[in-house]
Chain A
């Protein structure tokens, strides 16, 4: 069973640019969530995708957007990058078969560290 993988692991962008981060969910998982973790803070929920649709969103502006593909992999896109977008971006997957089988356990990847200059 493969775990959650993210790419790239590190990248540097400049203000105003756009970035796409990628995530492959753990085998058998159909839900993907994205989190932003600034230095010294806990992860903050950005949004999640289930069955290729966004079905939950945290307090992030519309320039943070995403996609989920039929194979459950996902992308996070951030437009018009700002200095404060510098952070570790974490992807987490889980299985959402039913309320009875949803234990709420998330499996996280190692993250993509974005630096905005």
Chain B
């Protein structure tokens, strides 16, 4: 699975959009981009995933560049509860494969 690069930490003002970048320059054509987050003392939580089209759900939007070498997770109106470590993961989706390669992630701090 392709390796990802994320900033170590970011700050965001409450109510503003949080834009979390991820580089995955070695991504293969059949690899998806996944985002999870981990709030302190909890297990990771799935946010969103995509292949090449932009995706949106009730939690966030995922913007993938046309060459698929990078992506951005957007939390449109960050709240204090969004303070967490955000993980960008690139992997092939295949039956029987639950091997998620988590890196160190980005520690997002939402400030009042």
Seen from chain A, the residues whose Cβ lies within 8 Å of a Cβ on chain B are 4, 31, 33, 35, 41-45, 48, 50, 55-56, 58, 90, 92, 94, 96, 98-99, 102-111
B98 touches A33 (CB 8 A): yes
A46 to chain B, nearest CB (A): 10
* 10 contacting pairs across A/B (C-beta < 8 A): A42-B85, A42-B87, A92-B98, A98-B95, A103-B93, A104-B32, A106-B98, A107-B46, A108-B45, A110-B43
A92 contacts which chain B residues (CB < 8 A)? 43-44, 98, 100
A105 contacts which chain B residues (CB < 8 A)? 46, 49
B98 touches A56 (CB 8 A): yes
A108 touches B98 (CB 8 A): no
A103's contact among B49, B85, B104, by CB below 8 Å, is which?
B49
B36 contacts which chain A residues (CB < 8 A)? 106
B106 to chain A, nearest CB (A): 11
A45 touches B43 (CB 8 A): no
Number of interface residues of B (CB under 8 A): 26
B103 CB–A CB distance under 8 Å: yes
Query: A104-B32, A108-B43 in contact; A45/B100 too (CB < 8 A)?
Result: yes
B96 touches A31 (CB 8 A): yes
B43 touches A109 (CB 8 A): yes
Q: How far is the CA of A72 from the CA of B63 in the complex (A)?
A: 36
